[in-house]
Structure 1
Amino acid sequence: MRKKLIKLLKILLLSILTLLIITIATLYFSLHEKLPEGKPGQEADEFALKILDAVKHDNYLNTDYLKWTFRNKNHYLWNKKLNIVTVKIDDHSVLLHLDSPEKNEILSTLYFNDQEKKKMIEKALVNFNNDSFWLVAPHKLFDKGVIRKVVTIKDNTKGLLVTYQSGGTTPGDSYLWKVDTNYRPISYKMWVSIIPIGGLEATWENWTITKTGAHFSQHHKLLGFGIPISDLKTWND
């Protein structure tokens, strides 16, 4: 009886595994898109400049402080003047000196050994790189190492393909921006190393004008799931 039960469980597990593989393969082949070809040059740069104008990039550059919460759990206070950010995750905070990482520190009265501190700082930096990108990506079109290309998309409109050759946590990632008639971003498609399916599309919605005049999207949707940004504030000294 026991042998039959074990055999039945093995068959069941094999069936579940097979179904899972089939489901993943189906999703991959139905959703995956190849990275499109595009044309670099003046047209792409002018396209990017129009996006920057739409999101009031100059006001963003002149913003001293940026505060927000990502997905209702990761909290950030970014001193853009000094390029220092306080990251609060779980029950502890980390102070990141983005231009001087040797000064990074844990803000806590609890004791952590060196290995624990290193992991906490690494996690804070990875989270900041990811979570801040969902907020300020339209302002990063002319970052160092960025390649910009104009792409003709399916509805015969133009999109801007942006590839980050350096910087961040995962250099080499690409994003194809779609914009409205005023060049404000509507969505982007992603070709990123942490997602095996290329071309997944995330919306950029619920745009707001902050106190310093910079424009930010406070909500995204990816595969039907919401990615909220809350408690958004900007100010200057």
Structure 2
Amino acid sequence: MFSKLFKFLFVVSIVVLLLGAGAYFILNQPIPPSKSGPKAEELTQKMLKAINYTNYKKVRYLEWTFKGKHHYKWNKLKGHVIVKWEDVEVQLNLNNYSKSEVFIQGVKMHTDPKEDLIEEAKTYFINDSFWLVAPFEIMDPNVQRHSVELEDGSEGLLVTYLDNEQKPKNTYLWLLNEDGFPNSFKMWTKDNPIGGLKASWDDWKVTGANIFLPSQHKLPLQTIRLTNLKAYN
């Protein structure tokens, strides 16, 4: 019986590997040829104008919930963010993580697992805020911008994030409408073996601060939803 079970599991594993390899070769795309220069910067400014970047720079508070699990109140100008999940609250100091404070069921932590929870909150925030404000961050110092000629003759904006050693880390190709508004991007990231996977940026909401924020991203195997969106001073 065990021999038959082993053979069955072996066959299943081979099938899974073959399907995975097939999906990789079908879906995987290389980063397209691109050019830096005036055209890339023109596309950048067109997108930033469409999403009202000028107002975004002035906004003090952003609030949102990521996938119904992680809740945020970000004081963007001060560099502080309150991160809540389950019975944990981390008051994350983005300027000096060692000054962050941790509460479990309202009780302030001074010892373990304080450091682990700070690191967890940091990881959550970096990922979850990206899906909220990535278009606004393409002017950051660690970002390179290039224009790409797409198959339909239009132009896309290729954005590459650099690590601390100024080496390429993650790359995204923003696909814009005629007004420069971002509809989706394709991504090449260290965590994803398949390059060029597409994620939508849609169901945008206009906040009280008159900036646009996305509330939904559709990916091949999941949909990311952001709720309770607020932006105010």
1:151-230 matches, cutoff 5 A: 151-166=148-163, 172-223=169-220, 225-230=222-227
What is the number of equivalent residue pairs in this alignment?
A: 230
Give the structure-2-normalised TM-score: 0.94
Letter in 1 for 2:96: S
Provide the identity percentage: 37
Q: Give RMSD over aligned pairs.
A: 1.7
CA contact (8 A) 1:146 1:166 kept: no
* 1:38, distance to aligned residue in structure 2 (A): 0.5
Q: Distance in 2 between matches of 1:171 and 1:69?
A: 30
Structure-1 residue corresponding to 2:8: 12
User: Once the two structures are superposed, what CA deviation does each residue of 1:45-93 show, in whole Å capped at 9, x if it has no partner?
Assistant: 1110110000000111111100000111111100112110001122211
Q: Distance in 1 between matches of 2:110 and 2:60?
A: 34
Q: Give the 3-state SS of the residue equivalent to 1:58 in structure 2.
A: helix
CA, structure 1 residues 104+216, in 2 after alignment: closer, same or farther (shift >3 Å)? same
Q: 2:114 aligns with which of 114, 117, 121?
A: 117
Q: Distance in 2 between matches of 1:158 and 1:123?
A: 38
CA, structure 1 residues 103+159, in 2 after alignment: closer, same or farther (shift >3 Å)? same
Letter in 2 for 1:135: L
Structure-2 residue corresponding to 1:233: 230
Structure-2 residue corresponding to 1:66: 62
* 1:11, distance to aligned residue in structure 2 (A): 0.2
Q: Distance in 1 between matches of 2:67 and 2:145?
A: 29
* 1:44, distance to aligned residue in structure 2 (A): 0.5
Q: Give the 3-state SS of the residue equivalent to 1:208 in structure 2.
A: strand
Structure-1 residue corresponding to 2:99: 103
CA contact (8 A) 2:156 2:173 kept: yes
CA contact (8 A) 1:66 1:235 kept: yes
* 1:194, distance to aligned residue in structure 2 (A): 1.0
CA contact (8 A) 1:211 1:234 kept: yes
* Greater than 6 Å deviation, 4+ residue runs: none
Letter in 1 for 2:56: Y
Q: 1:92 aligns with which of 82, 88, 92?
A: 88
* 1:154, distance to aligned residue in structure 2 (A): 2.0
* 1:228, distance to aligned residue in structure 2 (A): 0.6
Does residue 129 (structure 1) correspond to residue 126 (structure 2)? The answer is yes
CA contact (8 A) 2:102 2:108 kept: no
Q: Distance in 2 between matches of 1:177 and 1:140?
A: 13
Give the structure-1-normalised TM-score: 0.93
User: Once the two structures are superposed, what CA deviation does each residue of 1:83-133 show, in whole Å capped at 9, x if it has no partner?
Assistant: 100011222111111011120121234576744222211111111111101
